[in-house]
């Protein structure tokens, strides 16, 4: 990866579900830990054409964080010309790790732990994308 080329992180924006909150928390953790390697891309302004988000999606390699099987983040990235280099699905990881999702207003200790696990997965993806 070029030293100045960042990886776009796009998370589920489903604020009415625990998976959406966990996706956002995971994205924040990754971007906070790796600010020189990542660019947080906000889904709603990307969809409405607010600069610079549409351009970032088209020009950066993207990691999508989907909350549920609807995979809205993935679909919207592709629809807007993005090239997805990695994806995670919160609902699958919660099942694999046997962690309860909680609610949108209270993700609970399991939700926080899940966000940490997802963030670690994404950081591994960033390393792989950076090598490619």
**63 falls within a domain:** yes
The CATH number of the domain where 24 resides is what? Answer: 3.40.50
In this predicted structure, the answer to whether residue 17 has a pLDDT above a threshold of 80 is yes
**123 falls within a domain:** yes
Where does the pLDDT of residue 2 fall: very low under 50, low under 70, confident under 90, or very high at 90 and above? Answer: very low
Q: Name the average pLDDT for the chain.
A: 93
118 within 8 A of 65, measured Cβ to Cβ: yes
**2 falls within a domain:** no
**1 falls within a domain:** no
CA dist 118 → 27, 66, 87, 121 (Å):
9, 11, 11, 5
In this predicted structure, the answer to whether residue 108 has a pLDDT above a threshold of 90 is yes
pLDDT at 16: 93
Helix (H) or strand (E) holding 42, with range, is none
Q: Give the Cβ contact number of residue 68 at 10 Å.
A: 18
How many structural domains does the chain have? 1
Using a 10 angstrom Cβ sphere, with 0-12 exposed, 13-18 middle and 19 or more buried, the burial of residue 47 is middle
In this predicted structure, the answer to whether residue 3 has a pLDDT above a threshold of 70 is no
| Omega within 30 of 0 (cis) for the link into 52 | yes
Q: Which domain holds residue 12?
A: 7-131
3-state secondary structure of 55: helix
């Amino acid at each position: 990866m070029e030293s100045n080329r960042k990886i776009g992180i796009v998370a589920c924006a489903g604020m009415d579900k625990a998976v959406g909150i966990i996706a956002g928390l995971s994205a924040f953790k990754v971007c906070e830990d790796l600010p020189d390697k990542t660019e947080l891309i906000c889904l709603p302004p990307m969809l409405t054409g607010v600069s610079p988000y549409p351009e970032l999606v088209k020009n950066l390699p993207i990691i999508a964080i989907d909350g549920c099987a609807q995979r809205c983040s993935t679909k919207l990235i592709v629809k807007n010309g993005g090239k997805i280099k990695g994806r995670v699905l919160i609902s699958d990881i919660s099942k694999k790790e046997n962690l309860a999702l909680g609610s949108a207003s209270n993700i609970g200790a399991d939700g926080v732990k899940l966000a940490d696990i997802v963030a670690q997965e994404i950081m591994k993806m960033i390393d792989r994308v950076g090598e490619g």
